[in-house]
């Protein structure tokens, strides 16, 4: 009989343990990037973070004789269920030791919690939704994750399957070396697309940042609406995320596509701040901030994390124009490596486009489901 107890992290001490558990679990893992504790606390703050205005969430700890051996969040995302007209429950922020009994206890408790609130299946991991870090790494364990991508031990997928979860969807990550790509071919494709569609591509105007974010938010909610896993973001949530990104974004890596005087698409790439965060140990003080500032100068990788085009311009080639411009700008700015992620496994057009440009698939993340 398992001695694992799963309890709600419903007080300050328990929530602090929920936050701290991964730092102990991954202490000896050379590829894990410790997130800043202050950022984790803000994301988990159900009273203040705008995500929770449209979601109910409970955090749980798995205890073995009083020792924390795992954690999980049970999530009922009302925005998702309204958009997709389904009764989905989610789990996220999953971490555990390599023990099937711990995994079973955590996942069963999350499933029970969402089912009690009307869900008909459990899906995840999402932290806390597909608009944030999501998916479980199932291959490509030999390097650190880039900004806003997950990382986990090799044994996690086996724990999921042993507990009864099955694949719902795979999310793919591609790697490219800007200097090695056939830039001439990409530029020709992009040039034809822009000329034929009457489309212009420009960098974001930082002096008019809030207005630009508003237009991008409107395109986001139009461009992704038919995508699997899409979750509409409220204006407050989108602006909160924009405020966080503003601290590290480079204008030439945030592109706006316009046609006939209106915004029809956008592309967003961010410097891989994880390369600097890795040295801070999750704390700003006493030396974490100094280390981040030092290593931030040495960042040589970007992640292309969003590229959206409204439906009527989706086959115009504007996506190629975005990629061409991003790669050209990244190369000019000295970035030698780039990741494009994540891409749905069945997004045929995008996968073919990336492969045609010479990008190589190098990591796979899985979303699981349990009926």
pLDDT of res. 1: 41
Domain final position from 149, 171, 193: 171
Domain count, the chain: 2
Query: Is 252 contained in some domain?
Result: yes
Q: What are phi and psi of 368, to 5 degrees?
A: -100, 165
- C-alpha 54/C-alpha 51 separation (Å) is 6
Query: 126: burial class by Cβ within 10 Å (0-12, 13-18, 19+)?
Result: buried
Same domain, 144 and 183: no
Q: In terms of domains, do 189 and 126 share one? A: no
Tell whether 44 is covered by a domain. Answer: yes
Decide if 371 is inside a domain: no
User: Sign of the CA dihedral 156, 157, 162, 168?
Assistant: positive
- Whether residues 203 and 343 fall in one domain: yes
Taking alpha carbons only, the member of 363, 365, 357 closest to residue 177 is 357
115/185 same-domain check: no
Whether residue 201 is found in the same domain as residue 348: yes
- Give, for all 371 residues of the chain, the pLDDT tens digit: 468 999 999 999 999 999 999 999 999 999 999 999 999 999 999 999 999 999 999 999 999 999 999 999 999 999 999 999 999 999 999 999 999 999 999 999 999 999 999 999 999 999 999 999 999 999 999 999 999 999 999 999 999 999 999 999 999 999 987 666 666 666 676 677 666 667 788 999 999 999 999 999 999 988 888 889 899 999 999 999 999 999 999 999 999 988 888 898 999 999 999 999 999 999 999 999 999 999 999 999 999 999 888 888 776 677 778 888 888 899 889 999 999 999 999 998 889 888 887 889 999 999 999 99
261-298 residues labelled b (16+ CB within 10 A) or e (exposed): eebbbbbbbbbbbbbbbbbbebebeeebeebbeebeee
Residue 298 lies in a domain: yes
Query: Residues 143, 191: one domain?
Result: no
Same domain, 31 and 158: yes
**Does the residue 370 lie in any domain?**
no
With contact defined as beta carbons under 8 Å apart, do 314 and 224 qualify? no
Nearest CA to 339 out of 268, 289, 288, 276 is that of 268
270 in the same domain as 135: no
Q: Which of 171, 186, 216 is the last residue of a domain?
A: 171
Q: Report the SS3 class of residue 266.
A: strand
150 is a domain residue: yes
**Residue 347: closest CA among 234, 232, 230:** 230
Confidence (pLDDT) at 197 = 64
| Kind of pairing between the strands at 262-271 and 55-64 | unpaired
- DSSP sequence for 306-330: EEEE-GGGTTTTHHHHHHHHHHHHH
Tens-digit pLDDT profile for residues 285-325? 999 999 999 999 999 999 999 988 888 877 667 777 888 88
- Residue 185: give its domain's CATH number: 3.40.630.30
- Do 147 and 181 reside in the same domain of the chain? no
The domain containing residue 78 runs over which residues?
4-171
For 3, other C-beta atoms within 10 Å of its C-beta total: 9
CA distance 153 to 239: 33
Span 231-260, pLDDT tens digits: 999 999 999 999 999 999 999 999 998 888
Whether residue 332 sits in one domain with residue 203: yes
d(CA 33, CA 149): 10
Give the model's pLDDT for residue 196.
64
C-alpha dist (Å) from residue 338 to 1, 121, 134, 323, 335? 48, 36, 19, 11, 8
Are residues 190 and 158 located together in one domain of the fold? no
Average pLDDT value for the chain: 92
CA-based nearest residue to 230, from 43, 81, 72, 50? 81
Q: Is it true that the peptide bond before 125 is cis, omega within 30 degrees of 0? A: yes
What's residue 180's pLDDT? Answer: 63
Verify that 238 and 350 share a domain, yes or no.
yes
Cis peptide leading into 342, omega within 30 of 0?
yes
Domain closes at, from 144, 171, 198 = 171
pLDDT for 269: 96
In a domain? residue 55: yes
Chain-centroid distance, C-alpha 325: 23
């Amino acid at each position: 009989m398992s001695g694992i107890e799963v309890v709600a992290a419903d007080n300050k001490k328990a929530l602090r343990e929920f936050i701290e558990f991964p730092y102990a679990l991954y202490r000896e893992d050379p590829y894990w990037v410790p997130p800043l504790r202050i950022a984790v606390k803000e994301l988990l703050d159900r009273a203040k973070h705008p995500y929770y205005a449209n979601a109910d969430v409970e955090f749980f700890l798995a205890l073995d004789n009083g020792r924390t051996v795992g954690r999980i969040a049970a999530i009922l995302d009302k925005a998702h269920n309204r958009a997709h007209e389904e009764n989905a429950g989610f789990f996220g922020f999953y971490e555990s030791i390599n023990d099937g009994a711990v995994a079973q206890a955590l996942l069963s408790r999350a499933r029970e919690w969402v089912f009690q609130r009307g869900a008909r299946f459990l899906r995840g991991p999402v932290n806390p939704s597909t608009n944030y870090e999501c998916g479980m790494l199932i291959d490509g364990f030999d390097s650190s994750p880039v900004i806003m991508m997950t990382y986990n031990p090799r044994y996690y997928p086996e724990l999921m399957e042993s507990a009864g979860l099955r694949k719902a969807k795979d999310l793919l990550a591609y790697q490219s070396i800007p200097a090695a790509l056939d830039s001439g071919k990409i530029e020709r494709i992009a040039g034809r697309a822009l000329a034929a569609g009457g489309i212009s591509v420009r960098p974001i105007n930082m002096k008019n940042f809030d207005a630009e974010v508003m237009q991008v938010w409107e395109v986001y909610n139009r461009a992704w609406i038919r995508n699997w896993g899409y979750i509409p973001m409220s204006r407050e949530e989108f602006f909160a995320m924009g405020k966080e990104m503003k601290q590290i974004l480079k204008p030439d890596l945030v592109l706006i596509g316009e046609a006939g005087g209106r915004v029809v698409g956008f592309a967003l790439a961010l410097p891989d701040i994880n390369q600097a965060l890795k040295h801070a140990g999750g704390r700003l003080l006493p030396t974490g901030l100094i280390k981040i500032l030092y290593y931030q100068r040495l960042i040589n990788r970007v992640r292309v994390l969003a590229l959206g085009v409204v439906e009527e311009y989706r086959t115009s080639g504007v996506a190629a124009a975005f990629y061409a411009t991003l790669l050209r700008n990244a190369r000019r700015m000295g970035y030698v490596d780039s990741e494009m992620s994540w891409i749905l496994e069945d997004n045929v057009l995008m996968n073919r486009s990336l492969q045609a440009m010479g990008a190589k698939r190098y990591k796979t993340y899985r979303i699981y489901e349990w009926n």
